Amino acid sequence: MSYEKVSQAYNVIVGTKQTIKALKNGEVKELVVADDADPRVTYKVVQTAKELQVPVTRVDSMKKLGKACGIEVGAAAVAITN
C-alpha cells in the first residue's frame, strides 16, 4: 500500500538529509521509512517528523522503497511533499 502511495505521489524527496530539511520547512505531509534501514540513519528523520507531528509510515524494504521512487538503489527514507 505505502509503496503504491510513494510511486503515485507527484512530489517525493529521497534521502534523510533532504527530508529533514523539507520537514523543517513544513513541506512534508507524510514520511515513509524502511524498516531494514540502519536505525542510526533513520533515527533523526523519524524524531524530527514526530516532533513536527508529521505521520510516519513504515515499510519493510529499502530496495522496494527505492524502486517505488524510480531509483536503482534502496531508499531509507522518503518524504511525500505537499
- How far apart CA 64 and CA 3 sit, in angstroms, is 7
Mean pLDDT of 51-68: 95
Structural domain including 23 reads 2-81
Question: Which residues have CB under 8 Å from 52's CB, separation 6+?
Answer: 23, 24, 26, 28
Q: Kindly tell me if the per-residue pLDDT of 2 is higher than 90.
A: no
pTM: 0.92
Summarize pLDDT for 5-31 with one digit per residue, the tens: 888 888 999 989 999 999 999 999 999
Could you give the number of structural domains in the chain? 1
- CATH number for the domain that contains residue 68: 3.30.1330.30
Q: Which residues of 38-59 are buried (b: 16+ CB within 10 A; e: fewer)?
A: eeeebeebbebbeeeebeeeeb
Give the pLDDT score at 1. 57
